[in-house]
Amino acid sequence: MTGHDDQRLAEELVKATHAAGGLAPVNLEQFWADQSIAQADPFGAHIPQPAFGASLTGECVYDELGVSEDYWRYQHDDAWRLELNKAYNDKAETIVGRRLLGEMPRDPSREYPPIKLLGELFDAKNVWHGQSWWLEQSAHDHGRQRRQHGFHDRLRNAGRLCGLCGDRAAQFLGAEQMPQDRIAF
């Protein structure tokens, strides 16, 4: 194929894409069939196409649906999340032939149990602000800052704690300086 042929093919693709309202012409049934083969052996010598490895999350709904971003609500309001996912999937299905986001309510029995966060270790408040979590300052005097820096140094070496539990872990971490319920391993 020559450079002239490449130019002609590119121009034809752009023309077909414009004619289809901005979507490139794709045989979706063939694409998803080839995707199944490619996913089964992503580095195989005889796969018909590279495996499509992107997975979509709820972050795509806002721009696609023209909805104001509200990550807190998306995470905590199951009915709203499902409404957005359904609307997104209705649109996605016409474009890619598949419903890409989950439309089932969350099953609380399948969620990970809550874990201690960094703020809890340092008696700091974790607040939602501007679409993300922020850790507020907790040390306001040098003595408390020194204790927290010492604790931070011990946490850095936490990889060595694999075999420690109970009183030995508390002793290593200097838990006598902190409430017992502030350490979780």
Q: pLDDT tens-digit profile of 89-126?
A: 999 999 999 999 999 999 988 888 878 778 887 788 88
**Residue 177, SS3 per DSSP:** helix
Q: What does the chain come to in residues?
A: 185
Q: What percent of the chain has pLDDT over 70?
A: 75
Measured CA to CA in angstroms, residue 128 lies from 70, 71, 84, 161, 171 at distances of 11, 10, 22, 31, 33
Eight-state DSSP code of residue 41: S
Number of other residues whose CB lies within 10 A of the CB of residue 151: 19
Task: Please identify which residue in the block is written with the tokens 């960094």.
Answer: 118
**What is the pTM (predicted TM-score) of this model?**
0.59
pLDDT at 30: 95
Residues 119/126, Cβ–Cβ less than 8 Å: yes
